[in-house]
Amino acid sequence: MAERLVAVANADGLHARPAALFVKAVTEAGIAVTIGKAGAAGGADARSILAVLALDVRHGDQVVLRADGDGADDALDRLAALLADANV
């Protein structure tokens, strides 16, 4: 299981626009990824915009991304970079 911890940089948190771009990137990665707030149990399906919006991730919140299998590390690196980019 690959894991990344990242602080969400967007000033408005993971609101509709960055959430949709994140979900698009997860879908394009083609592997199952979960996202959860750091310290919380489990994680939501990062391919679901509903699940990501329901997490209500604020600016500065730390989230944990998890994925398994071939390409998981590369995919998580790209996804973490997306969340760490304040301009997305």
Q: Give the CA distances from residue 58 to residues 2, 18, 81, in Å, rounded to whole numbers and listed in that order.
A: 24, 12, 17
H or E element that contains 82: helix 72-83
Q: Measured from the CB atom, is 54 or 86 closer to another protein? A: 54
Least distance (Å) between residue 73 CB and another protein? 26
Least distance (Å) between residue 13 CB and another protein? 8
Q: Measured from the CB atom, is 52 or 65 closer to another protein? A: 52
Q: Measured from the CB atom, is 12 or 85 closer to another protein? A: 12
Q: Which residues bind another protein (CB under 8 A)?
A: 12, 15-17, 19-21, 23-24, 48-50, 53-54, 56
- 2, 3, 13, 15: the catalytic one is 15
Phi, psi of 7 (to 5 degrees): -90, 130
Asked about 15 being catalytic, the answer comes back as yes
Contacts of 76 (CB under 8 A, 6+ apart): 2, 3, 4, 33, 65, 66, 67
Catalytically active residues are 15
